[in-house]
Amino acid sequence: NAGVMQNPRHLVRRRGQEARLRCSPMKGHSHVYWYRQLPEEGLKFMVYLQKENIIDESGMPKERFSAEFPKEGPSILRIQQVVRGDSAAYFCASSPPRGTNEKLFFGSGTQLSVL
């Protein structure tokens, strides 16, 4: 079991470009969560998805940010027209199908740097 896989590990974008972050959950997991981590801060919840459904996007900015988890393939966090304030580590976590109080397993994160 390869665990939660995120890529790329590091992503550099210029202001105004688009950033696409990918997350493949652990085998058998169908629930995906995205978090943002700023330096010296905790993990801030952004969005929770199941296959083909966004369940809770209450932590995700309304503009420029979107997320999907298609039937086939990884979950994608998309940030359009990036700004310097988007620079952060973005972590994805997955949990088994039950989704309630199940242990979260994190990926290694994508460090986004906006120049």
What residues line the site for another protein (CB under 8 A)? 4, 31, 33, 35, 40-45, 48, 55-56, 91, 95, 99-109
Which residues does residue 89 pair with via DSSP β-bridges, in sequence order? Answer: 37, 111
* In the complex, least distance from residue 76 CB atom to another protein, rounded to whole angstroms: 18
Measured distance CA(95)–CA(23) in Å, rounded: 13
**Smallest gap, in angstroms, from Cβ of residue 84 to another protein?**
21
Closer to another protein by Cβ: residue 38 or 83: 38
Smaller CB distance to another protein: residue 17 or 43?
43
Shortest Å distance, C-beta 23 to another protein? 12
d(CA 6, CA 8): 6
Cα 33 to Cα 56: distance, rounded to the nearest angstrom = 9
Question: How far is Cα 22 from Cα 91, in angstroms, rounded to an integer?
Answer: 10
Least Cβ distance, residue 27 to another protein (angstroms): 17
Give the DSSP H/E element, type plus range, for residue 76.
Answer: strand 75-79
Nearer to another protein, 62 or 101 (CB): 101
Helix (H, G, I), strand (E, B) or coil at 38: coil
Kindly tell me which of 55 and 83 has the beta carbon lying closer to another protein. 55
